[in-house]
Structure 1
Amino acid sequence: MIRIDDLDAFVAIIEKGGQTAAARHLRRSVQSVGRSLSALEQDLEVQLVRRTTRQSGPTEAGQAFYRRVKPALADIHEARLETANRQAEPSGLLKVGAPAAFATAFVVPAVRDFMERHPRIEVELQASDRPVDFFAQGLDLAVRIRELPDSGMQARKLGELRVGIVGAPTYFAHRGRPAHPDDLADHDCIVRVLDGEEASWPFRINGRRRLVRVGGRFRTNSMPAIHAATAAGLGLGLTPLWQVRAPIERGDLEVVLEQFESTRIPIHAVWPATRQPALKVRLFADLLAAKVRHGRL
């Protein structure tokens, strides 16, 4: 019989890259995580994880099993949590931080449902693209859209988003379409101006991640401005594709260099590891994960 703890261990091994990191994440011993993986493989009669001395990676069967079991496991945990807390009613102020565009598209709908379910809850949302300081801002939970450094934060992975290059048909009619990232040297690229960052875009070329220097006549620190500028034909823009889904479907924007797109960017809900998350934090993280899971990223 497959146990939930064994599935948790398997998912953590895949997401964290090995048994040691998975054990640290789950707050279990390495031996316990290893036993869970062995029991799961024995039950399924197939090797799920390829072990090496440095790290662990999924086999083809393991990758397929992970894709199927991950959302199902999230639903099971959500159902268990709701059942376990059906008599408890969260209350008080929940302070959430998130990037501005993500907050509008995902956090606010989650807040609406959360407040409808729990009338004793109040929510304060701080939407900003700047890094947040948990203790200075008094946050209970924040959304991070990037790889997480090894820090004193507990994390719940919400999903992944796809980032791509878009341009308007009018731009392509005049300038042509790039066939390779190196072709961007001959194109106007709309650069997002951020503190101290070079104008480089990430790609995966010949199986490796490579940064390609880009430039153009128009620069801005605003993602909405990048979207407007690409639609106006001023150049090519690098953007999370979910943010421009509507103009892509209308044909106002087109995606190029899809075969060279870098790996997807993870989305996490985080809170201090030194703090046991309150019921309101756990319930909101579960609800937000469901919103992201059913979104189009």
Structure 2
Amino acid sequence: MHRLEDLEAFVAILDEGSFTAAARALRRSLQSVSRSLATLEENIGVELVRRTTRRSHPTEAGRRFYSRIRPALLEITDAGAEASNQRAEPVGLLRISAPVLFAPVHVVPALAEFLERYPKIEVELSLSDRFLDLVENGIDLAVRIGDLPDSELKARRLGALRRVVYGSPTYFAKHGRPGHPGELADHQCLVRRLDVMSEAWPFQIDGELRTIRVSGRLRTDSTAATYSAAALGLGLGFTPLWQVRDLVERGELEIVLAEYETQKVPIHAVTPAAKIPLPAARLFAEHLARRLSPANLEGHR
């Protein structure tokens, strides 16, 4: 029988992308996490994780094992949380904040299942792309995309988002497909006017994280306008895959430069550090984590 701490270490290594990040997330030493993985691989008899100097990648056996183990670990956590609740059934009002575009696609469907399961819970859902002060705004749980700034908030990793460069078949027929990020200077790029980084797209080039300056004739502050413009052949876009997944599956957009993609953008559920999280907040975070699998976010089969 595999030890729970060894399974937790294995899942954390893949979730966080490295041994160091996994040790930090688990609040264990790097040596302890390394020993846990070595013990697990010895017990199973196969290599699960291939180590590199910068990142740790699952082997094919590791990917299959991860897909079975991660949901099971979440169920164990969920069962423990339910057993520790003072009430047999959580009740009361749960205030949630979530990103504007992400919430309707992923948070609201999760809420529909959650409210069906727990009929005595009520929810107030606020949509904002800003990192609001949880205490000041009376928020019990916030869903946040991107690296978290240093703070005292309690955070639980829910999943991660793949970011892609995309364009339409019409555009590629006229202008060709870029084979390297450096070639983007010769292409029309659709720039979302969100911040100064909107014109600097990140890539992994020769083992290093580099940003490439892009430009184009069309700039917009609307994400939806960017997708539409790209589908009409006006240029190349850059965004998390889930936002254009349907267009890609229908063949209206195609992904390029996949071999230069950076590590995925994390998704977290955060709660105020100054108080014990509401049972409902903890349960919803666990429920949402189960839904945010790579298959749901990226359409893997």
Contact 1:181–1:260 (8 Å) recurs in 2: yes
Contact 1:18–1:55 (8 Å) recurs in 2: no
Work out the CA distance in 2 between the residues paired with 1:244 and 1:261. 16
Moved more, 273-282 or 146-155: 146-155
Work out the CA distance in 2 between the residues paired with 1:34 and 1:259. 28
Q: 1:292 to 1:24 in 2, by over 3 A?
A: closer
Which consecutive residues of structure 1, in runs of 5 or more, have no partner in the other structure? none
Alignment of 1:118-129 (within 5 A): 118-129=118-129
Residue in 2 that maps onto 1:295: 296
**Cα deviation, residue 77, structure 1:** 2.2
**Cα deviation, residue 216, structure 1:** 0.4
Residue in 2 that maps onto 1:269: 269
Residue in 1 that maps onto 2:150: 150
Q: 1:234 to 1:16 in 2, by over 3 A?
A: closer
What SS does the corresponding residue of 2:157 show, helix, strand or coil? strand
Q: 1:274 to 1:40 in 2, by over 3 A?
A: farther
Runs of 4+ in structure 1 over 4 Å off? 16-19, 21-51, 54-68, 82-87
RMSD, aligned α-carbons: 3.3
Work out the CA distance in 2 between the residues paired with 1:92 and 1:279. 10
What is the aligned residue count? 295
Residue in 2 that maps onto 1:95: 95
Contact 1:181–1:203 (8 Å) recurs in 2: yes
What SS does the corresponding residue of 1:211 show, helix, strand or coil? strand
Residues 255-287 of structure 1: per-residue CA shift (max 9 Å, x gap): 111222222111111113333211101111111
Contact 1:49–1:56 (8 Å) recurs in 2: no
Residue in 2 that maps onto 1:166: 166
Residue in 2 that maps onto 1:231: 231
Q: 1:112 is aligned with what amino acid?
A: A
**Cα deviation, residue 24, structure 1:** 6.0
Identity fraction in percent: 53
Which consecutive residues of structure 2, in runs of 5 or more, have no partner in the other structure? none
Contact 2:141–2:281 (8 Å) recurs in 1: yes
Work out the CA distance in 2 between the residues paired with 1:278 and 1:69. 27
What SS does the corresponding residue of 2:244 show, helix, strand or coil? helix
Work out the CA distance in 1 between the residues paired with 2:176 and 2:239. 20
Alignment of 1:170-209 (within 5 A): 170-197=170-197, 199-209=199-209
**Cα deviation, residue 147, structure 1:** 2.2
Residue in 2 that maps onto 1:259: 259
Residue in 2 that maps onto 1:241: 241
